[in-house]
Amino acid sequence: MRKPLVAGNWKMNLTVAESRHLVSEMIPGLQSIEGVDRVICPPFTSLLAVSALLEGTAINLGAQNLYWESAGAFTGEISPLMLSELARFVILGHSERRMYFNETDSTVNKKVQAALAHALTPIVCVGETLEEYEAGLTEEVVSRQIRLGLAGLDLRIGNNHTSPLVIAYEPVWAIGTGRAATPEDVNVIIARVIRAVLFDEFGERISQSTRVLYGGSVNSDNASKFFSEEEIDGALVGGASLKVNEFVKIVQAA
Ligand code: PEP
């Protein structure tokens, strides 16, 4: 059994004061739900404030990116060592980072290695663009992103029997567009591509214990349809994670 996980990606939104306000409003609703890992990923500037408010709750904190070195002359970057004091999760390889900040499978790979070395659970994002989707390249693209993004990793099952990483399948054409993929299609891609590649590269236990999320225009109306598919273990939620009632309802559905 894989425990469901729902993560909210706030992207580049909210000041520290706004973050405090939003998370304070969300805590009661999120706290009352059991059996789901809940993760909030604010921007770097809000991590400390949000972590103080989450202390003593069962809600986890995640970051949206990191740099792979622990410390040094890398102006403007944030290291896994710094994050490990605050967060348990980190989103890596999000399509917006691949698109606007030149992230490649090879930099994603370095970041995943660095996260794991500092006991952060990476949420590794993969997914095809609209052009690739229309050209029938989904399988090729997603399989390459996983093989190269996770190349050379020594993945071990933890004491809690779960894989040390999470994968988010996010078709780029579904992110922030209101045009979600169909739950049935997502289920097939996870089974035939994502778990198959994990099986090839890391064996049965990692393939079966890795949680695979869907992301792309998830909201409180469509969430339960995704979660009722066998292979979908939760969601990475962008826009709807900035709305208290929407996000709490999505976690409830999981
Ligand atoms: C995301 O940013 O990862 C995402 C899925 O965004 P949205 O839910 O807004 O489509």
Cα(73) to centroid of ligand 1, in Å? Answer: 32
Which residue, by CA, sits nearest to atom 1 of ligand 1?
Answer: 238
Alpha carbon distance 12, 84 (integer Å): 21
pLDDT in tens, 100-111: 999 999 999 999
Q: Which residues contact 101 (CB under 8 A, 6 or more apart)?
A: none
Which residue, by CA, sits nearest to atom 3 of ligand 1?
Answer: 238
| Mean pLDDT computed over 233-251 | 98
Q: Which atom of ligand 1 is nearest to the CA of 125?
A: 3
Q: Is 60 helix (H, G, I), strand (E, B) or coil?
A: strand
With 90 as the cut, is the pLDDT of residue 160 above it?
no
**What's the pLDDT score for residue 159?**
74
CB of 9 closer than 6 angstroms to any ligand 1 atom: yes
Domain boundary assignment for the chain = 5-253
pLDDT in tens, 122-139: 999 999 999 999 999 999
**What's the pLDDT score for residue 227?**
98
Q: What is the pTM of this model?
A: 0.97
Using pLDDT thresholds of 50, 70 and 90, give the confidence band for residue 1.
confident
CB of 170 closer than 6 angstroms to any ligand 1 atom: yes
| Mean pLDDT computed over 29-49 | 97
Cα(220) to centroid of ligand 1, in Å? Answer: 13
Which residue, by CA, sits nearest to atom 2 of ligand 1?
Answer: 238
- The topology under which CATH files domain 5-253 is TIM Barrel (3.20.20)
